[in-house]
Amino acid sequence: MLSLLGHTDTKAMLKNQNTNLVACPSEARGWTQILARYRTPSSTRSIIELVITAGPLVLLWFLMWATLDLGYWVCLLLAVPAAGFLVRLFMIQHDCGHGAFFHHRLTNDWVGRVIGILTLTPYDFWRHTHAIHHSTSGNLDRRGIGDVDTLTVHEYLALSRWRRLGYRVYRHPIIMFGLGPAYLFIVQHRLPVGLMRAGWKPWLSAMATNVAIATLVITMIWLIGVVPFVLVHLPIVLLAASVGVWLFYVQHQFEDTAWDRDDVWSLHEAALHGSSYYDLPSVICWFTANIGVHHIHHLCSRIPYYRLPVVLRDYPELSVIGRLTLIQSFRCVRLVLWDEGQQRLVSFHELRQGHALLARKILRARPVKAGRDAIA
């Protein structure tokens, strides 16, 4: 709809701006061969990363519990770094799911399953849905699993008034980054939503994780009580969940991301141009395990997160593709619909502006048409 107003193809402009690199799918595919040499994990480094993430998380958790009598504000302040370590632990689980953190798949899987108890994420179920996300990211005809629900302009306009309202509510920041993440990790992950009919494995993953979580929660409540446990653990989980969803959101929901129909969609093109390079401050990069280097991760998901900065160092030309700063990323919240004509994400405001401009053009054209008809 908005493309009818004569806007330029901003996605094409972005690809040609500041870099002559990777303008076609064959060249994007070539990067996977270049990046393959970074895939080998270091067992020693991975163990150290695991220890320096899980250890401080446990220490901060008990420190929060110990400071409850000093004032709850102290506990809440400590919840911020604790949530950071929980996010980092999830990123280790994420690398395990890609087989990138250790050499052997069995080691990756069992470390991932144990971490999943702390992150409230059934590992095997999540690994399966996340693999679908990687294999379909940016494909307009294969949306629905492992991604943020995104409608095209035409799909949105074809909805009834109530369904449009439902989509607006879903995409509202309070829901998307507040209530939504809490629901996802605390409620939705308790069942294999999306794979309910996919056999017993997703159910086993979800139910086994639920049993392990229940055992851990009951044990902690028995040790310190219900109220202290909730006061300590709930803010960590809620904050970490919101940060996690935010990171996933901006990695694909930026203005000049790449979406195409199945007949022209390319896995490697979508990986390179449909995933952002979220250029964050170094401290945040550490807590988020370099997940912001997402375009490289999608090109070669077997690269351990601690090797991603090395890729950018060796190939600085990759740092100009899909780059988003922290300030720029806040503008992504308003982008809610994919315009297939412009090949970019647009906001509800742009949609309204487009309709108003189109209506004015039609009204201006009507008298001319009427005059010609009268002459005829």
**Rounded to an integer, what distance in angstroms lies between the CA atom of residue 94 and that of residue 89?**
9
* pLDDT tens-digit readout, 123-164: 999 999 999 999 999 999 999 888 899 999 999 999 999 999
What is the per-residue pLDDT across 153-206, written as a single tens digit (0 to 9) for each? 999 999 999 999 999 999 999 999 999 999 999 999 998 887 887 788 889 999
pLDDT-derived band at 99, boundaries 50, 70, 90: very high
Token couple for 43: 């067992």
Tell me how far apart the alpha carbons of residues 192 and 208 are, in angstroms, rounded to a whole number: 12
Burial code of 336-359, b = ≥16 C-beta within 10 A, e = fewer? bbbbbbbbbbbbbebbeebeeeee
Tell me the pLDDT band of 367, cut-offs 50, 70 and 90.
low
What is the separation of C-alpha 250 from the centre of its chain, rounded to a whole number of angstroms? Answer: 6
Q: Mind listing the pLDDT tens digit for each residue in 38-93? A: 999 999 999 999 999 999 999 999 999 999 999 899 999 999 999 999 999 999 99
Instruction: Say if residues 250 and 276 touch (Cβ distance below 8 Å).
Output: yes
Query: What's the longest Cα–Cα distance across the chain?
Result: 91
369, with CB counted inside 10 A (0-12, 13-18, 19+), is: exposed
CA distance 125 to 206: 7
Residue with tokens 């929980």: 86
> How far apart (Å, rounded) are the C-alpha atoms in residues 175 and 169?
7
267-322 pLDDT per residue, tens: 999 999 999 999 999 999 999 999 999 999 999 999 999 999 999 999 999 999 99
pLDDT-derived band at 24 (thresholds 50, 70, 90) equals: very low
Adjacent-strand bridge partners of 338:
152, 345
Q: Within 13 Å and on the Cβ side, how many CA atoms surround 297? A: 31
Rounded mean pLDDT of 220-236? 96
Q: How deeply is 46 buried, as exposed, middle or buried, from its count of CB atoms within 10 A (0-12, 13-18, 19+)?
A: buried
